[in-house]
Chains A and B, each alone.
Chain A
């Protein structure tokens, strides 16, 4: 019940296209859903986060869509750029503590 399922495992997109990464969770106690971006050789960096009281949050080219009833959330990267090529992790945590549960990661490649 603590798992967060992420798909796809890898994604190849052309420059200017839309990248979409999906995550699903089971634990209804989760109430915080961040996305992290990790470049090779670096630690993950917080990209954007959402709480379940909103259905969408946008920051620049990055948008999180949240569907509470389906227990799913997704990351959309608009106008994808080669510099966006990285591994993306979704995560979730609940009010019982600060333990973030991460998805398996998606390796995004944006071709020029």
Chain B
């Protein structure tokens, strides 16, 4: 069974640009979560999508946004990139009836220069 897949693996953007990261959940999983892992700052919750709706949002500015598609895949958009947005962005998914157990992908490295 395929795990959570993310693309791209690495992305380099210039300050002020926009970045789009993509995630495909494990087959059958309807919830998708996004986390930011910056160096030395642990895992910070960004967004939770379920059944196409945004269910919860972490303490991040509005330039971090996303969506979930009918096939449950998801996209994270970061607008007006800042140098401190450089981080590993992790997507995770879970079954609707087991939302506590989330499975992570390997992440997308975003570097803002």
Contact = CB atoms under 8 A, between A and B. Distances in A.
A97 interface: yes
B75 to A, nearest CB: 18
A105 B42 contact: yes
A41 interface: yes
Given A43-B90, A97-B48, A98-B99, A89 B56 contact: no
Interface size class of B (residues with CB under 8 A): 20 to 34
Contacts of A100: 33, 45, 100, 102
B4 A89 contact: no
Interface stretch (A14-22, A44-52, A55-63, A68-76): A44-52
Given A93-B100, A98-B31, A99-B45, A43 B105 contact: yes
A59 B101 CA distance: 16
Contact of A98 (B35, B56, B58): B56
Interface of A: 32, 34, 36, 41-46, 49, 89, 91, 93, 97-105
